[in-house]
Amino acid sequence: MAANKTFSGERLRTIRDAAGYSREQVAVAIRRSWNAIYQFERGDLTPGREAQEGLASLLGCRIDDFYEDSDRA
């Protein structure tokens, strides 16, 4: 049985930092507010599918890279 996965704001932040983008740059690129990106990274909000696709495309990763096993979240 496959483990359940949850969105990880920490992973998003790590990937964004490694790609060299600021929160503001990401927000502009995916048409979201700076505050939304901040809330995604804090885990206060989970980005919708469209935002996740934009993030993955911009940051050069797969959507799955933003997720981790639920038991680790």
Asked if residues 4 and 70 have their Cβ atoms less than 8 Å apart, the reply is yes
Give me the percent of the chain exceeding a pLDDT of 90.
88
Token pair listed for 26: 């990401």
Summarize pLDDT for 48-68 with one digit per residue, the tens: 999 999 999 999 999 999 999
Domain boundaries, position 24: 5-72
The domain total for the chain is 1
**Residue 30's domain is classified under what CATH number?**
1.10.260.40
Residue recorded with tokens 């496959």:
2
Quick check: 64 and 73 in contact, CB under 8 A? no
Q: pLDDT under 50 in the chain at which residues?
A: 1-2, 73
DSSP states of 12-72? HHHHHHHHT--HHHHHHHHT--HHHHHHHHHTSS---HHHHHHHHHHHTS-GGGGEEEGGG
pTM: predicted TM-score of the whole model, two decimal places: 0.89
